[in-house]
Structures are given as structure tokens and as C-alpha cells.
Structure 1
Amino acid sequence: MLVVRMMSLRTAVRRASSSKPLRSLSSTHIVAAGAARRVPGLQQRRLYSRSADSQLTATRSTVVQLLSNIGSKREVQQYLSHFTSVSSQQFAVIKVGGAIITEHLQTLSSALAFLNHVGLYPIVVHGAGPQLNRMLEAAGVEPQFEDGIRVTDGKTLSLARKLFLEENLKLVEELERMGVRARPLTSGVFTADYLDKDKYNLVGKINGVDKTPIESAIQAGCLPILTSMAETTDGQVLNVNADVAAGELARALQPLKIVYLAEKGGLFNGDTGEKISVINLDEEYDHLMTQWWVRHGTRLKIKEMKELLSDLPRTSSVAIIHPADLQKELFTDSGAGTLIRRGNKVHTSTSLDDFASIDQLKEVLIRDREGLDARATVDRYVEGLRERDFKVYYDEPMEALAVVLPPSQDSAFAHLATFTITKAGWLTNVADNVFASIKKDFPKLVWTVKEDDENLTWFFDKADGSLSREGEVLFWYGVESGEEVKELINEFNQHGRQMFGDINLESRLARAAQAALNIGKGTGASAASLEQRRAFSTTTTTTTTTNALRSARSVRPSIPAAAARRAYSTNPNPPLGDKNISNSQPSKVALIGARGYTGQALINLLNAHPNMDLRHVSSRELAGKQLQGYDKREIIYENLSPDDVRKMSANGDVDCWVMALPNGVCKPFVDAVDQGAATGNVIVDLSADYRFNDQWTYGLPELVNRSTIAKASRIANPGCYATAAQLGISPLVPFLGGQPTVFGVSGYSGAGTKPSPKNDVQNLTNNLIAYSLTDHIHEREISSQLGAEIAFIPHVAVWFQGIHHTISIPLNKEMSSRDIRNLFQERYAGEKLVKIVGEPPMVKNIAGRHGVEIGGFAVHSSGKRVVICVTIDNLLKGAATQCLQNMNLALGYGEYEGIPLE
């Protein structure tokens, strides 16, 4: 955990303590003298590693390089302010996970080296969990966890201690190879008591932090690199979770920033799949904790961050980012990961009577204003508010205040008439809070800002579009169609002075207010009259509208036309991937009915999964025998009854139940889980019993909204034939010109282990067996899910595993083979388990693999019928692999965790 945060321009240098306006600072002065003069002791410390002159030259060069890539005056100024505002040991604490050291060592070291070259000393605390798991496995030690905490015996601690020293040295050596002095601090910083010796053994609870070794390292010009080990007062070494160690270090140092480096690179919204940029805890915490996707590790992480930040200054914040994005997170407004801060709650008022003091409101409006008559103008401005509807947004100390004029008979758009932010408000990002509140209330908003406003890029980021003319920029969001843009511009041309630049409709007051209420000078959006500022060309409305749309997001990279087209045609349900990860703890799994081929395939997958802890396996025929193929623990087959399941459910012994029973058999077991009343239990049923039950979620992730599956606790796993057929037909459902026919052939493993003519190899040799020629349950399943009638004809052949479908699909319009193939490629773009090929795929190439192949795309000469071929392994993607996808989603792991991907 890194407690170093330099001035995330997004959160931005909120720690800057200088009361002098940033625009009055000289960049030259700060670059040349800041490191040596304004950060106490920095010049002396750096003498240990290089001469003062060379240090200043290196610092200047680095800062100049930084400035050339930042792109906004405010970002530069905030960076410079941050650079000189905090002591070295209060810059940041950075927590580095073990996987980061293993997979991203050079990236991490480069980022730390950059910070050091600009005179910053982040304090690094690292873990080594994944490495320790592998080491313990190699040593024959079975990892044990209680409540997510590693139980640490003497052998485990000995191995952990050795490993931590090796990983610490690895990072130190890489930093020094890059010319950065680093000091390993592997003991002497954390003191601890036993957390619970009887339960966790040699696990510590930190009760003290000695800052002396850290301060000594920094004074010697070295980055402190700490391990998450602690000692008792009598010298016993104890294991401590790295996140916990970083939090306690942060409490002791009160840093500007606490940074968690993680491969995910942030937290993700489970509904939208998008990375969460900012969480303002004071404003959002209660609502956030009610969301379905805030669970498992994500819930715990947010709760811990709230507790940590409540012990730190309000200026402190937490960032969860990927190491490759460290510089972007710290030095740009947009950031890169998830920023978590306390923030300030936003209040609203629709009447001047809501304010305890009108004088206070006037003081807020007049601050930073220019002109001898500023106070008189503000007086008239406030009185003008009494004559019309408005809504004011502000935080408790009024660091930020915005006035919005709702839509009226004169304008269809709400107008942001006043937006004033203090420097402290910008640095603590109250502006984001206020703007987010406005956006909740007003889906359409327009406002203007001067082109030379130092916060211009911030406004571009908040807007959907903009139009620039003669020193002013008109911004808007929520104005989506060309007709609306046209209306907006026409309205501005006709009523610009009154409607856009003035809260009082009297032009006299507008002109009087212009000088006093112009927020374009470093404080936000303009409330001034736009008279004589805009001369929009109205030669042709079409041209004006096109230019307006073209200028929208003018500071953002353009999207190639091909990419824009794909946005309307590609997979509307992209994989959540790592975005679903909210759980880092093992889940206890019970498998009911494990004798069959599918059960064994699932056991093999669970054995390789880092977070699936198989605890119980039930089979009547195999009860009392030892489970083969599972290495994490010894498991003896049980013959669990529904009553056993009910008791286990009531005790919370199982997190996920997998029903691998024949059709029509599992209901008593499902009822038993429900009767046990254990909330949070997930059931995945591999039979067909619940595929037509509206209370259950159909678990085909490539076609069913993944967020729905992630929210579900009762999941019906699709059939193997049905999965392949749906994937082969779904993109063409809008183009169906008749009933598709699916000719399916399966290997004999699909007939199960119970002897029958369909799995008798002698009977199948030189043979092909057709069965259930009409009304097969998969025919009903496919038709029900696609919303179209499908004919399905199953067969069984002599090979063991794998299915081949030949699907004939009538079309309602002429289409070419290339059109159809492109349609499939775009629909399944990003799907890791669906592969589009040219030629018809072959069964021998899919057996033993975890995905689906779709190809052929042969179009009849009429152009109105296509034949598509699909192959799938019936035991894997047709059953066990898909089951694990659903388990991962529902339990809060990455969708493909534990699934071998090619």
C-alpha cells in the first residue's frame, strides 16, 4: 500500500496549502527552487545521491517533460503546488500486491523511479500472497484460511519470511538498477499483538508504527520498501495482511494519498461494466452499499477505505490503480483508476429563505470578483433570483456554489448561470460532487466558459458537446440529436444575452452583472452576458449544426469511423472479465451428483481454480471412496440426503451448490438449500429442471446479460446442444425467414455413464443413431430462449466427446456469406470462448477445449438460406466450463478464472 499521492489532477492536489492563487506562481521559480527551498530538508537529503546542481537540473528536466504532456494550465499549476506542499514522508503510501511484483516489476519500478526523480518519496508496502500459495503447495503445506485470514503456523511463517525477504530484495534491486536508491525495511517498523492465537496462530494485529526507519531512509535519499511483517515486544515475528499494514502505516503518517496497485486497475460498476472513476464517500457510501454488485471483497474494500479515511485528514484519498497508470492517475484530471475520498456532501436550495445568511451567499458570489461596483452588482444579482425559479448547489463550507436556471417557456434547456469554486474547492474536487448532483436533477444543461479558462479541460470532460466562437465556449450535455443542437444554437442566436449569460431577464441587469459575475477567470462557468462575444454564422443551419457536433469533445481523441460503426453492431453484452471481481476469498463448494463425466470435468476445473474450495462431493454409488483428481484436500464421497443439505445450508457450510443430477431429481435438494435459510447461497443446476423457471436465471453468459447472472443466486446451466445451437443462430434471429433446422451429432459421453445403446461403443461403430426426432427438451429450450421456433434433430456417434451442429437457417432478405460472417464476428467480438472460423469446424479440434467454434456460412444461391456449423465440447463449454463461468460471475470472481484460455 502506498501512501503517496502527489497531486492527482483529477482529485488534484487538494493538499496544496498555499493561499496564494496558483496563477500567480512562477513555474520557473517553483521548478528551480521548489525542490531545494520549499520542501524542508529535501536539498540536504538529495546530497547523499547527487550534487545539488545535478539534482536541480534533473528535476527541472523531468518537470519540463511532465508539463509538455499534461495539456491544461490548471493541471500544471496543481502539480507544481502539490510538488511543494507536503513533506516527503507524507506524500503517499503505496501498497503493492504480490502479483504486481511478479508480473509488473519493471512497470512498477519505472513509475516509482519517475516519482523519485521529481523529488518525491513514496513509501512502499508489499505483500506476496500468490507467491506464498505456490511455495506452500510446492512444500506440501495446504493453505488454510479462516474468515479470509491465512492461518499461519511455524512452517508457513518460516516460508513466508524467506519469501518476503526475496520479494523485497527483488524490488529494491530493480529500483537501484534504474538509478534510484532504495532501502529494504523488513523489520522494526510494525509492532503487533497476536490477532487470535488460538484461531489464526502466528498472525498479528498491529499496535504500533515506528516512523524512525522510514524517516531515516528518506533523509538518506532512499525509497523505503517495507514488508508486511510485524514483531511482538518479545521479538516473535508475526504475519500481517499487506492491506492492513498499509492502512496502519497511513494512519501513522497521515499521507496525502494511499495507493493500492492492483492488476484490475480499479473498481467496476456491476450494472454498466464501467470502471468507477471517483467515489465520494460522504455523498455516496450509503447508496453504494445497497448495490447488488457491492459484495464480497468489493464491499469489504469500500468499508475498509471508509474507516481508514475517517482517521485521516479530509485532504487524504485512496486510489486503486494498475501500476502502468500510476503517473496518469497522479498527474491528470481524468485519472486512470478508482479514486476514493470523503468529499463533502452537496446541499441544494430553491429559495433564498433556505440560506441562514444571505450575506454569506453574497460573500461567496463576490469572492475573487473584479470591479469597484462588484458588491452592488452582486446585491442586484441576488435580488434578481427572487423573481424566478432557480436551484442552488453548494457544499457545507461553500467552497463550491452553482446556480442552475431550470427550463422555462423561454428556453427548453436548463442553464448553469453561476459556478464558483475556490482554489481549495478545486483541489478537493468538490466541483465534481456539485456537478454530479446537478446532472442527476437536470438531464440537459448548457453553460458558457471563456476559452482561456484554466479549468477548460474539466468542462470539456463534463460536456457532451461544445461550440467555440470568439473567446467563448458554449458547452452542453444531454442534447443528443442534431435537431436539439440546432434548436440550442438558434435559441442562443436569438436570446443569447438574456438566456445564456444572465440570470435576470432584464438586459439592464445582465449588462450590470457582466463584470461581477464572469466566472471565466479561473473559477468556472460564465454567467456574464454574451453580448458582442458571439457572432455565429447562420448562413446555413445544417453547417452550423454539423460544426457544433464536430466540435463536441474536441479535446478527446476522435473515434475512427469503423469503430463508430462497431459500436452499434458489436456484442451488447461484453464479458465482465475482471470488472466482476469483488471477491478475493475462497468459496466453499458442494457438488451433488459427481459420478458422471460432467462432474469429473468440473472437479478438474475446480482443482485448478485459485478460489474454489471444494468441500463436499455427493454420490450414492461412490460413498465412502476417496475423490480422485482433486489435490487441494482429501475428500471422501458422501451420500448426502436432502436433510443433510438443509442442515449444511443452515450452518453456512457451503457458499455454492452445484447440482449435477439427472433431470427430475434435484428438486428435493434445491428445496433443502432454501429451507436452510442461508442467505447468499448460490445454486447452479446442470439439469433441465429449472431452465424454464422464471425464478431462475438462465446461465448462458454470451447471450444473457452478465450482470443478471452476477446478481443471481439460482442459475440454470444450459444444455450442451442448446448452448451451441443458440450461439449459432442468435445473431440471425432478426433476419429469420422461417424455422431453422438443427442437425446435431454428439459423442457418446453425452448419453451419460449408465449403459445404454447410445453409449455402447460396439453398437455405435460404423453407425449413427438418431433419437428423439421431435419434441426433444433441447428443442423447447432453444426455441424458448431465442424466441423463435427451432427444429432440432439429435444423433449420437462413436466418438467420446464433442458435438457438431449443422444448422440450416432461412433468411428474410438476401445476404452474402461475408455479410453473415461479419455479423457473427461483430456479435461475438471480445468473447473469449467463442471463435469464428471460415471453414466448417471439426469435432476433433474442439474435443477437450473450453470454447465454441462457429463457421461454414454457406449461402444458398438464392441468397436467402445459410448453413452454419457449430462445434462444442459437451462436457466442457456444454456443461462444466459454462457452470464455472456462472459460478465465477455469481460468486464475484473473474468470469474466466480457472478456465484455460488459448
Structure 2
Amino acid sequence: MLAVGSAVVRAGARRVVPRARHRQALTGSRLAPRAGSLPLAAVRALSTTSARSKEASSDRTRAIIIRTLSQIGSRREGQQYLSYFTSVSSQKFAVIKVGGAILTDYLDELCENIAFLYEVGLYPVIVHGAGPQLNRLLEEAGVEPEFEEGIRVTDPKTLTVARRLFLEENMKLVNKLESLGVHTRPLTWTLTADYLDKEKWNLVGQITKVNKEPIEQSIQQGYVPILTSMAETPEGQILNVNADVAAAELARALEPLKVVYLSEKGGLFNGETGEKISHINLDEEYDQLMSQSWCRYGTRLKIKEIKELLDTLPRSSSVAIIHPSDLQKELFTDSGAGTLIRRGDKIEVATEVSQFSDFGKLKETLLINREGLDAEATVDRYIDFLKGTPFKAYYDEPYNCLAIVLPPGPDRSHATLATLGVTKNGWLSNVTENVFNAIKKDHPQLVWTVSQEDENLSWFFGKCDGSIVNDGSVLFWYGIDSVEELGGLTKEFRASGQAMLGDSNLEARLRRAAQTSSRNLHAHASQVRSFSTMARRPQWGRGTAVAPSIVGSANRAYSTTTNPNPPLGKKNASNDVPSRVGLIGARGYTGQALIDLLNTHPNMDLRHVSSRELAGKKLEGYTKRSVTYENLSPDQVGELEKQGAIDCWVMALPNGVCKPYIEAIHEARKNGADRRSVVVDLSADYRFDDTWTYGLPELTKRSEIYKATQISNPGCYATAAQLGIAPLVEHLGGTPSVFGVSGYSGAGTKPSPKNDVTLLADNLMPYSLTDHVHEREIGNGLGSDVAFTPHVASWFRGIHATIQIPLNKTMTSRDIRQIYQDRYAGEKLVKVVGEAPLVKNIMNKHGVEIGGFAVHSSGRRVVVCSTIDNLLKGAATQCLQNMNLALGYAEYEGIPVM
């Protein structure tokens, strides 16, 4: 259990079952996915005795896993869901329905994803159709397909063609999977049926029985079962059955965790807005959804059929409608990819302890994983505390999730999320997100805290509107426009941090909770999958918490230790004094742009500005204080670092110049610097140094930037190109080529042909035609080779990149644009547009525009265009994003968003 405010977090233990039996026989051991790590490629290689086969298998597995992990939000998410899926018997993992069009157009993607599941010990039951192929064959044979009420009328001639076709398609899928090292077993006649209506549809079947035994035996022996959507009567007559119906009947028999319908569209869509429906919670939304004017025809029927199916399955089961290339993203990430449909649970509300529907379950939820002889007594005291305190509680009927919000009052300036407790079943469902949505409806403003050491900080950052840091805790809020609105809460938070972290006395903390609960905000994130009915699932909800007064030490609900040498800026982030900034190299255009941003930033104070050429002159344009340019030497910078006088150093120097300053800072830290500052380097000097964090927040994990003390700011071209290519990395069919053109400000202030406006007039100047440092940077960031050719033009600022991207499969412009919109949904500084973006529209803007998405007639190459202001998001704005994150402020503080 975790703690937010007054709460504890719990996550139930998860059982991991052994991998396939055939692996046990070959290796002599029981191989199971280990908690905390994905299976190594070498495990797959153990299944063969040939050295050559081992090498080929290892390479194949490595390629599949790398490609799959590129879709996963974090390694932790993959590990969490792997443990979830392997917590049940193998045949209860998933039933996957594969349509005929998928076998024709997306066979490679489908098989690679199934191979990945096989490699990590998961064995889906696959049932496929072949409708489009059958239509084509019948047309070629001169037979007009006939449908009645949407069901194919199947006469003997049609059935003869269909039977041969289904067996061929089944073998095609089997052979492809076997070539990838997946052991498969085609199961042709496991479905028993009777005539649906012989008079109307002739040889069409209604499934009456699923023979589970061959399916279960196949999986137990290490084989993936592949079924066709055909059945036979008890008398042996073969009948045609609908593949969706076959999948549903298989699900009813096997009761899997997941029922997956692979779809070219990738999900269900809102007929009015055109947005993909990310999640449907049937208990809460079914009636309202079915009353919508746009919910009709195929969409209405599909939702109705899925509800009827889920009503017959355990509540832990869910249905996903996804594109075949997104299978792993849907299964192994919190954000998902397609449309996820669950029964869900309705959310109950209580404002008095007596209103809880089941007092026993309430105590059980608070007691989960709580150890110690006084556990129950402590929970009783907490409940007594609630009896005398106004609150509003939100919970589901089984008490898988419980949240308690304390309203504003004499000792609380804002509504406080004091308790958020989630059981194991709670994090396996969407109930946490449903609870939080209910909270947001009632509380337009909310505060809560999380441990600074929490590995899921980026999730909370994605949910909040702002944050501050103090002594190992982060105070988050939403619905509050500025720190000033928090009033005395920031001072209380600052004053309470050290006392709370150092106080292990439960009784003292309980009394403090009763007196000033706004001070008792400690949380540690658990692993809770969140869902949303929005077009994109917001990233919040992993935290499960209960009052700090009932946190058990075994649960590690909060950390009693802090970084012995934390960044000074992070301690300063919650103080009334803004973070102190030192800028080395202020003469250039980027330095000036950063000064302008710092001048309006509410929590940054520019103290030292160093420029050899301008030393002694007054800094113009900075109104917070009078600042004079200095010519700081590396030794002087080291001395300031040793004194703890600067919270953040920004190195705005040319490439190859800042090393002495960095060495001086490192030396100061060795020789007595009390606390470490944050260093952000704008040059290319440390972009390939693994000891530095690469600061591209939209692609680098924000939690890594948050914890970093050394950040390498990406290059302008590299930012535009990486953001322009990243969503398609998994679909690359060759080396992308970037044709970039920059305004002459990119050449700096030092005179050169590249910033000579006379030479550039009516001209376009190519330079560094190969091996430009940004070429290496782009490739390094994407994990793929990239060709890059830069040019300079006659305008002052702004970059345009035209990017040619070869594809490994046929795709449409609409598909690709949707991929980009999904990837950058919620990113305030990335705007996905339809047409190719223009430089003049990005000048003086703080983000990136990406558009074009023109697909070649072959469908295997797309042209994507990306524009960026090289002085802002290409340098100064991105620098400020990194400073905000590393110093503990809201990421976009002081940045006018797009």
C-alpha cells in the first residue's frame, strides 16, 4: 500500500506460473518470468541443441522483444502485466479473433506479436476467419455471395470453397508462426454446432459445445492452438460459423482474462467526434452509450454483443478491439492502444462512516498488507478519526478501491486526497480511474503528495497542473492556477516534510493527521492500471494509498531516507525563494532567448550571467534585479558551486568549450559542496555520455529528467527530426532521410558564411552533407540509422525538416496521422496538423508542428514534415522544460504552450 495524505497503499501478491511444459522437459527446470525482469532471449535459445539454431533464435527473439518494447511506456509496465497474465492457468490468458483481412494485410505484424507472447510464456487461443478471401474466390468462381441479416448463406458449393480456403489460411498462419520459432497446433474441429436455421442460411452453424480438452492439452504441451471458424454437427456435417461468434463461445468455455478482436480500424469510434473510444465501463456507461444518436448499426451491435459476452464471464475478463500491430501496447501498457471494454463496478459514495455499505470490507481494505500486532487497532483509530471529520469517500461495491477526500476547512485550504487504497483486484480493473473521475466531478481543485523517490512520478506529473518539492515528497495539485493560490499550504508542506519523514511513531502521526491533515500528505505509487473513456487514457491512478497514520513499514509506504546530497534546486523548489540560476555563455541568440523566459518565470532568479565579450555591461531586458555580465572562469564557477550559491547552471557555450566548467563543478562536489546543483548543457558535448540524461521530455522518461543533476539539452534539428520519426520507429522499413533547412540564427552570432545575409540572399546553402553531429544524435536517440542533410536559408529563425520514412508494411495517410495523434496526445508542445507545417507559422512559438503524412502510391513510404523554432523548443524552451522538471516545478511553468 501507498500513502497519499492519510492513507496506505497495497498491492496483493501476484503468483507467477511456470513457462511452457516443453521448455521444462528440454531444460530440466521450471522457467517462469521473473518478477522485475522480462525473460532473456537466451531462454528461447535453450530449446534447441544446434549452436546455429541457438544464435538464430536468440537474434530473432531479441529483435521481436526490442520492437515490442518500443511500444511500451515503461519496463515496469511490461513486467507488471506479464505478472498479471501469468497469474492464471495458461489457457485462461486470452482468446484472439483474427479476421481474414488481418491474415492478408497484417500477417507479419500479427505473427511477430504472437511470437513475443510465446517467448514470455503466454499462449493465446487463436481463432481466425477468411471472409474477404472467400468473397474473392467465390467471385472468381462466378458465385455471387449471398447474405441474409448479415450472415452468409452457405450452400454446399460455397462450403466446399470455404473449407479448402480455411484450411489453407490456417496452414499459412501456422507456417508463419513456426518460422518464427512458435510451436503451434492447428485444431480444425473443436467446435460442435447445430444448424442456425437451415431453411434461411443452409449450412451455417450455431455453436452448441466447445471441446476444451484439445485446446488445454495443446497449451499444456507448449503449443499455441490455431482454430478455424468452422464447426461440425454430432453427425459429422461441417458447418460455417461466424468468427466473432466462435471467439465468444471459446471465451465462455475458457473464461480468459482477455478476449481480443483484431480490427483494421483499431477500435470503436465516436460517430460524432471521430475520436477513438479508449475505454467503455459497461456498468456505468452502457445505457448512456446506447442512447447516443451516433451509436447505431455495426457499432451498436458490437457493443451489445460484447456486453452479452462479458455478462457471462468473470469480472476480471475484458474485451479489447485493437489493430494487430498494437497488440503488445494494449496488453502491456497502462495507456493501451485500442478500445477496452469491461463490466466495471459502479462507484458508491459515503459522507459518514455509517453509510459504508459493508463495514467489514472497509476494514479489510484498510488492513490489506498491514503487518504488526497493532494493525487492526490502528485502523480502528483511523476510522474513529473519520467519524469526527467531514469527508467524502468513493468506493466500488467489492471495496477494490477506496478513496477519501477531506474538504477545505479551518485547517485545510484545499480539498485533499487523504486516502486511496487499492486491492490486487482493484489494480487489475479500471475501478481506480472510475473513482478518480468521480472525485474530479465533485472536486474541481485537489492536492495530494507522492514520495520523491517514487518510480512512477511521471504518471502523477501527467495528471497534475503543478507541483513543488520538499524533503523527499512532491506536493501535486490540479485545478489551481498558481503557487500563490495554495496560500499557506506550501509553508506547511515545507515545515512538515522533515518532521514527517523522521517520525516513525504511528500515534504521533495519527494525532497530527487529526490536527492538520493538510500536512500529512505522503504517497508512494503502486502499480495500478488506469483507464479512461477519453480518447487517450490519462496517465494517473497507479497510486494506492491510505493514511500515513496506518502505513506499515513492510509496505514502504513512504521513504524514511532522502538523497544525502540532493540537488539544491529541488530543496529550494518548495521555498518562497526562487531557484538561483547561473548562465554561462549569454551572448548568443539562445542565451538571450532563455533570459527572456527566465524574466517571466515565477520561480527562477537569474543571479550570474557570464560572457567574455560583454563583461562589465548591464544585462538588458531582465527586470527582476540588476544583473551585470561577468567573465566567470571555471575556478569561479567551481567556487560558487562549492558555496551552494547556484541551484541550476545553464551552459550555453559552443561545442567543445564547456568541459572545464563541468570539471570544476565536479571537483567542487568532491571537495565540500553541500548540495549539488542541476546542470543543463546546451552544447553537443555530453549528448552521447551515458552519465548525463538526454533531456527530450516528449521521448525521454520525465521521471529520469526529474531525478537528473546533469542534463544534455538536445539539438534543434535533432529535436525536430526525432519527434518527426519516433512514432513510426516500429514500422521502419529502411533508413529515414531528413532534409533540413534552418534560418541563419542557427549558425550563431560569430560571423561565418552560414549567417552572412548577403551570401544567403536568394540562396540555399547546404553544409555538412554527411556525418553531421545531429545525424549521429538523431540515430542515437531513435536507435536506428538516419540520413541527415542540413541547409541554411535566408530567414532568421525556424527550421523545416522534410523526412522520408520507408515503411515495413503498407499503410495509409490516415493510419499514420492517427499514430502521431495518439503518440503525442497530451503533449502540450507538440501539435499534429494535417497539411505540411510552415516555418513562418512556427517562428516565435514554443513547440513543434508535425504534419504532411503524404504516403507514396506503393503505400510503403511516407513523407512527414516537422517545423520548430530553433531558438525556443530547439534550445531555450526545451532547456526550461528540463530545468522545471529537474528543479521540481511544473514542466510548463513559464512557457506559453501552443
- Normalising by the residue count of structure 2, what TM-score does the alignment of the two structures yield? 0.52
Change (3 A) 1:178 1:820: closer
Q: Find the residue that maps to 1:125 and give its secondary structure.
A: strand
- Is the 1:191–1:206 contact (alpha carbons within 8 Å) kept by the matching residues of 2? yes
- Is the 2:412–2:517 contact (alpha carbons within 8 Å) kept by the matching residues of 1? no
Q: Find the residue that maps to 1:279 and give its secondary structure.
A: strand
- Is the 1:465–1:551 contact (alpha carbons within 8 Å) kept by the matching residues of 2? no
- Is the 1:497–1:507 contact (alpha carbons within 8 Å) kept by the matching residues of 2? no
- Which residue number corresponds to residue 840 of structure 1? none
- Which residue number corresponds to residue 191 of structure 1? 192
Change (3 A) 1:63 1:99: closer
User: CA–CA distance in 2 between the matches of 1:476 and 1:299?
Assistant: 39
Residue pairs, 1:585-624, within 5 angstroms: none
User: CA–CA distance in 2 between the matches of 1:504 and 1:287?
Assistant: 48
Change (3 A) 1:165 1:469: farther
Could you tell me the percent identity over the aligned residues? Answer: 55
Change (3 A) 1:112 1:426: same
Letter in 2 for 1:101: L
- Which residue number corresponds to residue 224 of structure 2? 223
Change (3 A) 1:560 1:378: farther
In structure 2, which of residues 511, 520, 524 is the aligned counterpart of residue 520 of structure 1? 524
Residue 248 (structure 1) shift: 0.6
User: CA–CA distance in 2 between the matches of 1:503 and 1:289?
Assistant: 51
In structure 1, which of residues 471, 488, 505 is the aligned counterpart of residue 486 of structure 2? 488
1:89 aligns with 2:85: no
Letter in 1 for 2:31: A
- Is the 2:456–2:525 contact (alpha carbons within 8 Å) kept by the matching residues of 1? no
User: CA–CA distance in 2 between the matches of 1:458 and 1:281?
Assistant: 26
User: CA–CA distance in 1 between the matches of 2:28 and 2:544?
Assistant: 30
- Which residue number corresponds to residue 313 of structure 1? 314
User: CA–CA distance in 2 between the matches of 1:504 and 1:374?
Assistant: 15
| Cα deviation 1:171-229 (Å, max 9, x = unaligned) | 1121122222222223x211111111111122110111112332343344332111101
Q: Find the residue that maps to 1:86 and give its secondary structure.
A: coil
| Cα deviation 1:274-327 (Å, max 9, x = unaligned) | 322222222222222222232211111111111111222222111111111111
- Which residue number corresponds to residue 578 of structure 2? 540
Residue 385 (structure 1) shift: 2.8
- Which residue number corresponds to residue 127 of structure 2? 125
Which structure is higher in RCO with an 8 Å CA cutoff and minimum separation 6?
Answer: 2
Q: Find the residue that maps to 2:702 and give its secondary structure.
A: coil
User: CA–CA distance in 2 between the matches of 1:457 and 1:117?
Assistant: 29
- Is the 2:382–2:510 contact (alpha carbons within 8 Å) kept by the matching residues of 1? no
Q: Which runs of 5+ in 2 are unaligned?
A: 1-10, 19-23, 501-505, 527-542, 550-557, 563-570, 580-599, 606-647, 649-695, 706-712, 721-813, 815-834, 856-898
- Is the 1:378–1:516 contact (alpha carbons within 8 Å) kept by the matching residues of 2? no
Residue 76 (structure 1) shift: 5.2
- Which residue number corresponds to residue 643 of structure 1? none
Letter in 2 for 1:140: G
Residue pairs, 1:368-407, within 5 angstroms: 368-369=369-370, 374-407=375-408
Change (3 A) 1:318 1:200: same
Q: Find the residue that maps to 2:185 and give its secondary structure.
A: strand
- Which residue number corresponds to residue 702 of structure 2? 554
Residue pairs, 1:771-810, within 5 angstroms: none
- Is the 1:184–1:225 contact (alpha carbons within 8 Å) kept by the matching residues of 2? yes
Residue 243 (structure 1) shift: 0.2
Residue 165 (structure 1) shift: 1.9
**Which structure's CA Rg is the greater one?**
1
Residue pairs, 1:543-582, within 5 angstroms: 543=601, 554=702
User: CA–CA distance in 2 between the matches of 1:292 and 1:68?
Assistant: 38
User: CA–CA distance in 1 between the matches of 2:510 and 2:34?
Assistant: 50
Q: Find the residue that maps to 1:437 and give its secondary structure.
A: helix
User: CA–CA distance in 1 between the matches of 2:324 and 2:129?
Assistant: 15
User: CA–CA distance in 2 between the matches of 1:150 and 1:470?
Assistant: 67
Residue 233 (structure 1) shift: 1.9
- Is the 1:72–1:457 contact (alpha carbons within 8 Å) kept by the matching residues of 2? no
User: CA–CA distance in 2 between the matches of 1:400 and 1:185?
Assistant: 41
Residue pairs, 1:601-750, within 5 angstroms: none
User: CA–CA distance in 2 between the matches of 1:436 and 1:521?
Assistant: 18
User: CA–CA distance in 2 between the matches of 1:560 and 1:286?
Assistant: 51
User: CA–CA distance in 2 between the matches of 1:268 and 1:564?
Assistant: 32
Residue 253 (structure 1) shift: 1.4
- Which residue number corresponds to residue 12 of structure 1? none
User: CA–CA distance in 2 between the matches of 1:207 and 1:485?
Assistant: 64
In structure 1, which of residues 81, 100, 103 is the aligned counterpart of residue 102 of structure 2? 100
| Cα deviation 1:480-504 (Å, max 9, x = unaligned) | x4xx344237632346679999999
Residue pairs, 1:184-333, within 5 angstroms: 184-186=186-188, 188-333=189-334
Give the superposed CA RMSD: 5.3
In structure 2, which of residues 132, 141, 144 is the aligned counterpart of residue 142 of structure 1? 144
- Is the 1:182–1:222 contact (alpha carbons within 8 Å) kept by the matching residues of 2? yes
User: CA–CA distance in 2 between the matches of 1:336 and 1:174?
Assistant: 25
- Which residue number corresponds to residue 473 of structure 1? 474
- Is the 2:421–2:546 contact (alpha carbons within 8 Å) kept by the matching residues of 1? no
- Is the 1:498–1:506 contact (alpha carbons within 8 Å) kept by the matching residues of 2? no
Letter in 2 for 1:100: I
Which shows bigger deviation, 364-373 or 151-160? 364-373
Q: Find the residue that maps to 2:31 and give its secondary structure.
A: helix
Residue 424 (structure 1) shift: 2.7
User: CA–CA distance in 1 between the matches of 2:54 and 2:150?
Assistant: 46
- Is the 1:261–1:322 contact (alpha carbons within 8 Å) kept by the matching residues of 2? yes
In structure 1, which of residues 104, 113, 132 is the aligned counterpart of residue 115 of structure 2? 113
Change (3 A) 1:817 1:206: closer
- Is the 1:32–1:60 contact (alpha carbons within 8 Å) kept by the matching residues of 2? no
1:428 aligns with 2:429: yes
Q: Find the residue that maps to 1:35 and give its secondary structure.
A: coil
Residue 118 (structure 1) shift: 1.6
Q: Which runs of 5+ in 1 are unaligned?
A: 1-17, 566-701, 703-730, 732-815, 834-902
- Which residue number corresponds to residue 158 of structure 2? 156
Letter in 1 for 2:434: N
Letter in 1 for 2:153: V
Residue 107 (structure 1) shift: 0.5
- Is the 2:33–2:83 contact (alpha carbons within 8 Å) kept by the matching residues of 1? no
User: CA–CA distance in 2 between the matches of 1:423 and 1:514?
Assistant: 28
| Cα deviation 1:236-267 (Å, max 9, x = unaligned) | 22111100011111111121211111111122
Q: Find the residue that maps to 1:404 and give its secondary structure.
A: strand
| Cα deviation 1:565-588 (Å, max 9, x = unaligned) | 9xxxxxxxxxxxxxxxxxxxxxxx
Q: Find the residue that maps to 1:171 and give its secondary structure.
A: helix
User: CA–CA distance in 2 between the matches of 1:559 and 1:283?
Assistant: 45
Change (3 A) 1:446 1:306: same
Letter in 1 for 2:366: L
Change (3 A) 1:262 1:64: closer
- Normalising by the residue count of structure 1, what TM-score does the alignment of the two structures yield? 0.52
User: CA–CA distance in 1 between the matches of 2:315 and 2:374?
Assistant: 36
- Is the 1:63–1:118 contact (alpha carbons within 8 Å) kept by the matching residues of 2? no
- Which residue number corresponds to residue 842 of structure 1? none
| Cα deviation 1:314-370 (Å, max 9, x = unaligned) | 221111111111111111222211211222221111122212565653443343346
Change (3 A) 1:342 1:563: farther
- Which residue number corresponds to residue 31 of structure 2? 35
User: CA–CA distance in 2 between the matches of 1:21 and 1:234?
Assistant: 45
| Cα deviation 1:383-426 (Å, max 9, x = unaligned) | 33344432101111212110012345766642211101122321
User: CA–CA distance in 2 between the matches of 1:85 and 1:382?
Assistant: 33
- Is the 1:95–1:124 contact (alpha carbons within 8 Å) kept by the matching residues of 2? yes
Letter in 2 for 1:538: D
- Is the 2:266–2:323 contact (alpha carbons within 8 Å) kept by the matching residues of 1? yes
User: CA–CA distance in 1 between the matches of 2:418 and 2:467?
Assistant: 16
